[in-house]
Amino acid sequence: MVAWAIDTFGPFKSPGTDEIFPALLQKAKDLLIGPLVRIFRASIACKYIALEWRTAKVVFFSKAGRVQHVTVKDFRPISLTSFILKTLENVYHALAPPMHKTFEDRWNESLRLGLPEEVKEELMIKYPTPENCTFLDPPKLNKEIDTALTEACKSRDARIASKHEKLQVCLGGLSKILSIALSQNQN
């Protein structure tokens, strides 16, 4: 995937502040892919973009058809960023394409506002754990251990179990949808 992303660039496109042309990445691709993959994975896992990648070189080009180049409006700014960052962006966008607009609107609203309690309870009933996947059920706390735990630990365990139950419902709903789609596909 990284090799593909590097190959998508024109070899002599203008570089960012790091002065690394795509041709350099393309010619040294075999040596760079391993380290770049590790750097990209760490960057995504840590949700961090290196400072060097965040800086851009801004170049101004005169707009076509302008007789005089006197005002700011006579020029068009171009931001030149690192091709290493552009490689990461291409890989990320290839692995995480945008979702359908219908889902985006509904999910953004649900995530922003949360679901009403009655809807949550309805979903818990509507999408139970599939009978052949009982390992999805959240683990139950042993009574002997429960008596030895502090209230803070019990509260933490209850929050984790609640999240686990929500995840279980999501997986139950997805498995139901996929099972229907697969059975229709086989017919």
Identity at 34, one-letter amino acid code:
G
pLDDT at site 67: 79
* Structure tokens belonging to residue 179: 């099972």
Kindly report, residue by residue over 119-150, the tens digit of the pLDDT. Answer: 888 888 888 777 777 777 777 878 888 888 89
Task: Please compute the mean of the pLDDT values over residues 60-76 and round it to a whole number.
Answer: 85
Residue 29's pLDDT band, with cuts at 50, 70 and 90, is: very high
Q: What pTM did the predictor assign?
A: 0.55
Count the helix, strand and coil residues of the chain and give each as a percent rounded to the nearest 5.
65, 5, 30
Residue ranges of the alpha helices (H) in 96-137?
101-113, 117-126
Find the mean pLDDT for residues 5-9: 95
Question: d(Cα 123, Cα 121) in Å, to the nearest integer?
Answer: 5
- The letter for the amino acid at 25 is L
The reported pLDDT for the residue numbered 185 is 75
List, for residues 35-53, the tens digit of each pLDDT value: 999 999 999 889 899 988 9
Tell me what pLDDT residue 101 has.
84
What is the mean predicted confidence (pLDDT) over 60-84? 87
How many CB atoms neighbour CB 25 within 10 A? 23
Q: What is the pLDDT of residue 187?
A: 66
pLDDT tens for each residue of 138-183: 778 788 888 888 999 889 988 888 888 888 888 888 888 888 888 8
Token output for 28: 């040294």
Q: What are the tens digits of pLDDT across the range 88-118?
A: 999 988 888 788 888 888 888 877 788 888 8
Structure tokens belonging to residue 88: 């990461």
For position 41, what pLDDT does the model report?
92
Residue type, 153: C
